[in-house]
Structure 1
């Protein structure tokens, strides 16, 4: 069985309310029985329900990295609060009595074992996951529709530019809103997001000074223009390709609205096996343009030092039914890590995970990956920012010789050669001001995870500290 910690339980919980309710069941003594199987592989018990009936939650760790959780309650959440309570009780050291597995649970386990045996047999026979069969005729029609949609979008953008942003009125905003819907009809969800982002900027122009408002709007128009050109070039070439293979190196497919399947990523060799990851930072935010909540975790890979992102999108309409991600404080031991196409800070995903506590040796290897040359790091960041379709907020782990503050109260980090990078808040959640509360030894000769952004108003490159890694701990400024 894996080491069951509160961090791991939190990571499998559907949301914070389920965590609170699961812990509440333990505190209120709602569990009438707590048992484990003779081989310690299955946890099960009986929990008093809100009515007259009791519920039987269980957690089966026959496959440690992929536990099966069940409960007899009618909850639509998975795992439910009763299973979470069972796990929290175990993590807190509650007394579990050895017992035989109930018959109904044993029957379910037997069926699951047969399914697993069948999968293993297929795998042994060399039958890898079959990629989704592409209907080339339907795909061709879709590409033609996407090209038509890009033409429509280009006409709108050029019309707005010719008229001038200062002349945009309610009628123009309504026209943009209508085009947002049209982009969906042309299978261009990426264009839909970006056009809605432009609409939000123009609608919020009254909340900002005119110069700032127009500057951000022009920047968004430039991004959309680059997307139209690259998208048209890519789709035209794909239309001429007999195989119509997707580009698995750049992010253009994602911009066009393609949702990558894990079998596709595996087919293109975008996987790594037996990987250890440690989450350095985490935050959630609301993306009104996508109409989704976004949960982002920043992780470092032990064998390469790469900084990855896990991203979960939770549509507003379905958010209550989806598990929200949260901070993760243990080492994640991942059997298979799937990598999405991209450049710096690739998006990654994993379906199965084991955990172990973070140790002092982990702090050492994390710190060792901190980049020591700021000029080289800045060059790397600028090369990414030159591409309008790349992530505009690259993340790097930097070694810091010292953090200083000037007479105006502005902070800067300095490398071993004396090169400095100015710190500033990039995200809506500020972190720079929190540096004043840290001790001197937590600010010198440490590694810092920073998020970069090119500040449009000042024209300068800013770095926001997200976490500080010392030889003893990870200090999260953003969580």
Structure 2
């Protein structure tokens, strides 16, 4: 069993409410029995509920880094408040009586061991069977998607011909109806982007300000229609119906990549170490989901990856909310999604350790030092209409200063400068925090920044997310 602390238990909770409720069970002395197995790998007990029969709950640490939570309660939240309460009771030093492992837990352990054993045998023998694809059904889906693209194209062209200034509430309603229809054509990615366009038009603020961004969104949709149609037509002719594992076109079409698919296309990397440099959660009404975003530095390559956790509105209370992570993650197998800069990554398991001085040296070594090259790299990405419009890079700054006009700037070793401003895409500003940092922290430092091109002004700006000076990492976004 790992060392149990309040912070560790907090990190296992799906949300803040679960933490509060789990701790509340301990304060109310709701646990009737508290037991621990003889080898210390299992905590289990009974907790009084609303009915006559108490809930049987347990936390199994037979795999130290992956605790297994079990409970007889009907909650769909995982882990539930009873399992969390069990851990909080242990952390607070309540008495746990030694007892044999319950039969039902022993039986479940045995079944889990057999599953893992079978997986290991298949992996060793290369007996993993490729997933069977119903090609007939897939071709029908592709044809439906092509029909959906035709429908979307008619709408986009009519909006362009009519001009944004002619759009009224009736037109917005028509767009919203098309958003719903796209779901019938298996175009969930395009559905999200069209909803984003509708939201831009429906903003209560000055319409003129949103016209530029609405026009860009139409441009993105038009580019997607052209690329999507060519791609789907080619895929329909491909006897293997293979996915495009080099671009994001399938994601735009609504494909949800499975880890098995990423592995099949070789989009995996072994023995990777990641250090999270920034994290934030936001509400994305276009996706109708809450989104948890983490930006991580791969210490060997210096690449900045991102982890993304989507929590649909309807199920958000039942899903685990990600949080900031401060240790170094050692990942046996890292899955990488198709994409350009800041490609999305996922992993199934990891171990952790504290970041040392050598790790911080590798972080500093991965920072870009020429802003001219950085700007060129960012602009090359922004030229592609389907690319991520907010790339994130780690830069070295010889100094952070303020111009006579009050603008913050980054200066590289050659004297090149980048203007820093709070960008619209982030949920909060960070520049207002810079004056609270000591002057020594703003020289010879590394700064993680997010870029955005202000279309209505024709300027490229960057917002600081994190500042790294020596061995200290100061997160400005939270």
TM-score if structure 1 supplies the norm length? 0.92
Match of 2:124 in 1: 124
Residue 42 of structure 2 is aligned to residue 20 of structure 1 = no
Separation of aligned partners in 1, 2:73 and 2:460: 53
SS in 1 for 2:440: helix
- Contact kept, 8 Å, 1:7 with 1:330, in 2: the verdict is no
In structure 2, do the counterparts of structure 1 residues 74 and 96 end up closer, same or farther at CA, with 3 Å as the change threshold? same
2:78, 2:318 within 8 Å by CA — same for their partners in 1?
no
Matched, 1:387 2:395: no
Distance 1:105 1:136 in 2: 42
Q: Deviations over 1:270-327 (max 9, x none)?
A: 1122322221111111111111111111111222222111111122122222222121
Contact 1:299 1:309 (C-alpha < 8 Å) held by counterparts: yes
Distance 1:395 1:85, change over 3 A: same
**1:56-87 deviation line (CA, Å, top 9, x unaligned):** 43222223343311123332211112222333
SS at match of 2:270: strand
SS in 1 for 2:226: helix
Which residue in the other structure is 1:145 paired with? 144
- Pairing of 1:21-420 with structure 2 (within 5 A): 21-26=21-26, 31=31, 34-49=34-49, 54-90=54-90, 98-128=98-128, 130-204=129-203, 206-210=204-208, 212-420=209-417
Tell me, what secondary structure is at the counterpart of 2:375?
A: helix
Task: Tell me, yes or no, if the aligned pair for 2:35 and 2:98 is still in contact at 8 Å.
Answer: yes
Q: How many angstroms does 1:11 deviate by?
A: 3.8
Separation of aligned partners in 2, 1:429 and 1:155: 37
Relative distance call for 1:471 and 1:227 in structure 2 (3 A) is same
Q: 1:28-70 CA deviation, whole Å, 9 max, x = no partner?
A: 5655665443333333345454666544432222233433111
d(CA) in 2 for partners of 1:93 and 1:355?
Answer: 25
Between 107-116 and 25-34, report the one with greater CA deviation.
Answer: 25-34
Measured against aligned partners, the alpha-carbon deviations of 1:209-264 in whole angstroms (never above 9, x if no partner) come to 52x22211111111111111111111111122111100011000000111111111
- Quote the Cα distance in structure 2 between the aligned partners of 1:5 and 1:170: 55
1:478 aligns with 2:457: no
1:454 corresponds in structure 2 to 453
Structure 2, unmatched stretches of 5+, are none
Identify if the C-alpha distance between structure 1 residues 11 and 252 changes in structure 2 by more than 3 Å, giving closer, same or farther.
farther
Distance, in Å, in 2 between the alignment partners of 1:284 and 1:2 is 28
CA 409–244 in structure 1, closer or farther in 2 if over 3 Å, else same: same
User: Matched residues in 2 for 1:227 and 1:72: separation?
Assistant: 48
Distance 2:95 2:350 in 1: 26
**How many Å separate the matches in 2 of 1:138 and 1:78?**
34
In 2, Cα distance between equivalents of 1:473 and 1:25 = 38
Unaligned runs of 5+ in 1: none
- Relative to structure 1, the CA distance from residue 103 to residue 144 in structure 2 (aligned partners, 3 Å threshold; closer, same or farther) is closer
Alpha-carbon contact 1:8-1:355 (below 8 Å) kept: no
Shift of the alpha carbon at 1:161?
1.3
Q: Distance in 2 between matches of 1:80 and 1:358?
A: 31
Contact 1:8–1:330 (CA<8 Å) still a contact in 2? no
Do the aligned partners of 1:402 and 1:445 also contact (CA within 8 Å) in 2? yes
Change over 3 Å in CA distance of 1:48–1:182 after alignment to 2: closer
Deviations 1:103-154 (A, max 9, x none): 33223322322332233233333223x4432111111121122112112211
Distance 1:94 1:459 in 2: 62
Shift of residue 98 of structure 1? 4.8
Change in 2 beyond 3 A, CA 1:469/1:437: same
TM-score, normalising length from structure 2? 0.93
- Note closer, same or farther for the CA distance 1:87–1:73 as it changes in structure 2 (3 Å cut): same
**Kindly tell me: are residues 401 and 266 of structure 1, through their superposed partners in 2, closer, same or farther at Cα, counting changes over 3 Å?**
same
The alpha-carbon distance between structure 1 residues 470 and 99, as it changes in their structure 2 partners (threshold 3 A), is farther
Q: How far does residue 447 in structure 1 lie from its aligned partner after superposition? A: 1.2
Distance 1:451 1:193 in 2: 23
